[in-house]
């Protein structure tokens, strides 16, 4: 009889990790999660419901890995390659992912509370409904990433790049986006109370019906952005560029407008 390891290795090589799981199931219903947890870190590794908390994985290659529903709290993944990996619903509380490569990775519903992702590459990553409260993401790259309905109060994104990102209905209260770039990003109906956007670039961004009560928009570039229906009560707009911006009452600001929308 052909061994399970041989079947899984062949199918993984030919068709990827998910079909490898199917092959194992067809060959006797093995406990896939338990069997795979002992596998060493590698491209395409399958760690489902595995306990890897507090281990050192800095600089490892885990691209295209399946790491769903796993305990990765406190793990050190600094500089690791997690490109196109799936970490959905995993616990990454307090994890270190500084400089990690997470482009096109899935972190849907994952918990990253208190994690550090300084300078991480998250282009087109999916963080929908992720727990991001207090996460440090200074200078991270999240171009085209989706953070729909993310719980991200006090998220640290100063100097980060979020051009074209989707943050609709996200909770970004007290978040720090000083100097961040959000050109063409959407923050429709997002909670942005007391968020800091000073010197940020929000050109062509959509903030329709967003709550910006007490937000700091000092020197922010809002040219051609949309603030239709947004709540700007107590917001600070000193030096904010409102060139052709769609204002809260749906009228367009005059070209060259600054601070006020005539």
Give CA–CA dist 247/87, Å, rounded. Answer: 39
pLDDT digits (tens, 9 = 90+) for 212-228: 999 999 999 999 999 99
Angle at the Cα of 179 (from 177 to 181), degrees rounded to 5? 80
Residues 6+ apart with CB under 8 A from 211: 190, 191, 192, 193, 230, 231
Q: Let me know: does 211 contact 190? Beta carbons within 8 Å.
A: yes
More confident residue, 12 or 53: 53
With a cut of 60, say whether residue 147 has pLDDT above it: yes
Retrieve residue 62's tokens: 């885990």
pLDDT digits (tens, 9 = 90+) for 19-30: 444 444 433 333
Listed by start position, the domains of the chain span 4-30
SS3 label, residue 66: strand
pLDDT digits (tens, 9 = 90+) for 31-52: 444 448 999 999 999 999 999 9
pLDDT of residue 18: 47
SS3 label, residue 128: coil
pLDDT digits (tens, 9 = 90+) for 68-124: 999 999 999 999 999 999 999 999 999 999 999 999 999 999 999 999 999 999 999
pTM of the predicted model as reported, rounded to 2 decimal places: 0.86
Share of the chain above pLDDT 90, in %: 86
Share of the chain above pLDDT 70, in %: 87
What sign for the dihedral angle of Cα 259, 168, 113, 77?
negative
Give CA–CA dist 205/196, Å, rounded. Answer: 16
Retrieve residue 166's tokens: 């989707």
pLDDT of residue 36: 84
Q: Taking residues 249-257, report their average pLDDT.
A: 97
């Amino acid at each position: 009889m052909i061994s399970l390891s041989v079947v899984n290795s062949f199918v993984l090589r030919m068709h990827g990790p998910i079909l490898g799981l199917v092959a194992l199931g067809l060959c006797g219903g093995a406990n896939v999660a338990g069997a795979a947890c002992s596998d060493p870190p590698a491209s395409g590794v399958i760690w489902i419901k595995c306990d890897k908390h507090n281990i050192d994985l800095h600089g490892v290659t885990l691209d295209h890995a399946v790491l769903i529903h796993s305990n990765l709290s406190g793990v050190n993944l600094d500089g690791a390659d997690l490109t196109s990996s799936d970490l959905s619903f995993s616990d990454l509380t307090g994890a270190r992912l500084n400089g990690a490569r997470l482009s096109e990775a899935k972190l849907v519903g994952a918990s990253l509370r208190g994690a550090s992702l300084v300078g991480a590459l998250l282009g087109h990553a999916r963080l929908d409904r992720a727990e991001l409260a207090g996460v440090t993401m200074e200078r991270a790259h999240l171009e085209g990433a989706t953070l729909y309905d993310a719980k991200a109060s006090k998220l640290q994104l100063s100097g980060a790049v979020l051009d074209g990102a989707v943050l609709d209905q996200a909770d970004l209260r007290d978040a720090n986006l000083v100097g961040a770039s959000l050109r063409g990003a959407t923050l429709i109906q997002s909670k942005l109370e007391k968020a800091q956007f000073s010197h940020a670039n929000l050109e062509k961004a959509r903030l329709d019906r967003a709550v910006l009560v007490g937000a700091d928009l000092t020197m922010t570039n809002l040219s051609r952005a949309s603030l239709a229906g947004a709540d700007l009560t107590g917001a600070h707009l000193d030096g904010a560029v409102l060139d052709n911006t769609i204002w809260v009452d749906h009228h367009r600001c005059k070209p060259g407008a600054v601070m006020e929308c005539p």
